Amino acid sequence: MHTASSLRPNSSWASDVDGLWRKRRRAPNLMSNGKDKLVERLRAKDEEIAEWRKKLELTLFGELSAAPAISERPSKQEIRDDSPQAETTRSSDEVVSHIPTALPAARKTICFGLSAATGTAEDPLEILDSDDEGANTLPKARGSSPTRRTSNGTHHNSKPASMHELDAIEPCDSESDHKDAVLEETRKRRREALQTRPTSGSSLKGEEELESQEGYKEEEKVAKLDTPQVSGQPASPEPVKNEDLPIADEALEGKRRAITRLRNPEAQVKKEYLLKDEDVLQLHLSNSDALQPYPISLPDDLRSVTVRRELLAKRYGGSSMDTFPGPSAEKLAQHGRGNLMCINLLWNPHAPQVPGHAGLYFDTILPGDPWTARKSHSERQTLFVKIKAGKWLYLGEYEAHPAPSLTVAQWHGLADAVRAVWTKNISEKDWGKTLRARIHLRCTLGREPTRAEVDGADGLFKHVTREQVNDALGAGHECIRTWSMKCIGYDEDFAREVIQLSRGEI
């Protein structure tokens, strides 16, 4: 059981309580001392920031090479010691004396990190119009009062811009004594620089990158108005409207639109197999009227009927695999259709796909040779195109007109699968003999073979590999010939016959 004496605090406990009590009484004093120290540190930081700002201003202006001095600023002798300007002038000389007297034209005007010939984001300057050749061109701060023209033709503000309006320098409290003098000197330097600045079309990068989108827009607006006075060049013309385009440009734009109508939405052609529309247009320009579709009166639902390839071979003869089937004399005498042409879109992704519309056909006929240089070609081709697997569509009667050969860039622009088909078949098929002969002779002779040497070469040259063919095409030693296919007719009776064949009616 505890006694009163056992609960009595010992000396150690009492001393601890007394110490805590003393610390508590001292706490307000400690807080007050800490606050005073914090205020002193903040004040020291403010002074340090102000000093660094002053050094930055002097450094930016100090980097620029000096130009002829401006004589507008009054000297110390012109200011009486008892005048209100005396104290300001004396206090500002310490800062302004280190600033170059003018800014060079080569660097425009560097206004505290902003590259613009007309000022900063906070202080976009405007060049005022002047009819007099010798008139001084003065900047105007955004938000300042209107300007007036003096008797000598010089523009002046009727009311000088205030610190809030110009805001080129943001002095802290420690700089309040000389801020007006620094502002006035800065404005004079800008005036001199703007009078000798280069054209507003030039731009500087890096350290002078724009920091404010708002300031940039304002300066762009001013630069456009100011360009005729500075550079002496006419302002940029307004964009030409569509109705003002020349006839040639309108025709070219019409052909661009026609290119987009050449694709059949039902055709299975991967986008990566296609050339760019501009390349397709350039290849078609050699045949100016090829993109004009042939009018067809057969209803759409009938003209879109497809047929299987084996049915075509069975009825009209010839191979079911070759582009030019080559029917027998018996079949030719029976139907008179010896000019069938069956194009696979894997080989020719830009072949005609819509009945009556144009397309491109790739071949290995040597440049300069006519379409009929190959015996299997006819003057007029009855064209079928493989739209999907097992589905061949009758397009109409077509003529082939020579077009520019594929360039090296266009060849490489084709999909790998398309190029692989061409290199494989050129190295294996009989129709690739001419190209293989040229590759062989080039390797053995060490030069380009002549046409006579190619025509007189014996053999099939099957030893030429796919890699050699691919290298020759990729280097531009050989090329794929392009033909512009134009529809010149549509045999509706033959189309109805193909429909009956597809439906098993004949």
Q: Is 25 contained in some domain?
A: no
Burial of 298 (0-12, 13-18, 19+ CB in 10 A): middle
- Give the residue-averaged pLDDT of 90-98: 44
Q: Is 1 contained in some domain?
A: no
Residues 170, 265: one domain?
no
pTM: 0.50
The end-to-end CA distance of the chain, in Å, is 125
Bigger pLDDT: 198 vs 443: 443
The rounded distance, in Å, linking the Cα atoms of 485 and 377 is: 13
Q: What is the pLDDT of residue 245?
A: 33
411, 426 contact by CB (below 8 A): no
Nearest to 190 by CA among 132, 236, 126: 126
Q: What is the pLDDT of residue 217?
A: 45
Q: What is the pLDDT of residue 278?
A: 82
Residues 106, 196: one domain?
yes
Assess whether pLDDT exceeds 50 at residue 477: yes
- Give the residue-averaged pLDDT of 389-412: 94
Residues 304, 374: one domain?
yes
Q: How many domains does the chain have?
A: 2
Nearest to 426 by CA among 489, 393, 471, 385: 471
Q: Is 12 contained in some domain?
A: no
Domain boundary among 231, 261, 285: 231
Q: What is the pLDDT of residue 408?
A: 94
- Give the residue-averaged pLDDT of 394-421: 92
Q: Is 175 contained in some domain?
A: yes
- Give the residue-averaged pLDDT of 304-309: 96
Q: Is 179 contained in some domain?
A: yes
Q: What is the pLDDT of residue 12?
A: 56
Assess whether pLDDT exceeds 90 at residue 445: yes
Nearest to 247 by CA among 255, 239, 237: 255
- Give the residue-averaged pLDDT of 234-242: 38
Residues 217, 274: one domain?
no
Scored b (16 or more CB within 10 A) or e, 170-204 reads ebeeebeebbbbbbbbbbbbbbbbbebbeebeeee
The rounded distance, in Å, linking the Cα atoms of 411 and 471 is: 12
Nearest to 139 by CA among 153, 154, 206: 154
Output the average pLDDT for the chain: 71
In order of 259, 263, 312, 396, 435, the CA distances from 304 in angstroms are: 20, 14, 16, 12, 37
Residues 258, 402: one domain?
yes
Q: What is the pLDDT of residue 33?
A: 66
Residues 256, 200: one domain?
no
Residue 453: pLDDT band with limits 50, 70, 90: very high
Instruction: Provide the residue range defining the domain that includes 401.
Output: 247-406+480-503
**Which tokens sit at 46?**
């403010």
The rounded distance, in Å, linking the Cα atoms of 190 and 67 is: 12
Query: Cβ contacts of residue 50 below 8 Å, gap of 6+?
Result: 171, 172, 174, 175
Residues 192, 264: one domain?
no
Residues 322, 389: one domain?
yes
Among 101-115, 116-130, 239-253, 254-268, the range of highest mean pLDDT: 254-268
- Give the residue-averaged pLDDT of 405-432: 92
Among 138-142, 284-288, 296-300, the range of highest mean pLDDT: 296-300
Bigger pLDDT: 393 vs 285: 393
Residue 502: pLDDT band with limits 50, 70, 90: very high
Q: What is the pLDDT of residue 420?
A: 93
Nearest to 200 by CA among 238, 226, 218: 226
Q: What is the pLDDT of residue 206?
A: 39
The rounded distance, in Å, linking the Cα atoms of 105 and 98 is: 19
485, 382 contact by CB (below 8 A): no
Q: What is the pLDDT of residue 391?
A: 95
Q: Is 393 contained in some domain?
A: yes
Listed range (5-19, 259-273, 373-387) with the worst mean pLDDT: 5-19
Q: Is 137 contained in some domain?
A: yes
Among 249-253, 290-294, 327-331, 395-399, the range of highest mean pLDDT: 395-399
Residues 140, 173: one domain?
yes
Q: Is 345 contained in some domain?
A: yes
Residues 172, 291: one domain?
no
Tens-digit pLDDT profile for residues 163-204: 444 344 344 444 444 556 666 777 777 677 666 655 444 333
26 Rama class: left (phi>0) / alpha (psi -120 to 50) / beta: alpha
Assess whether pLDDT exceeds 50 at residue 6: no
**Which tokens sit at 167?**
């805001």
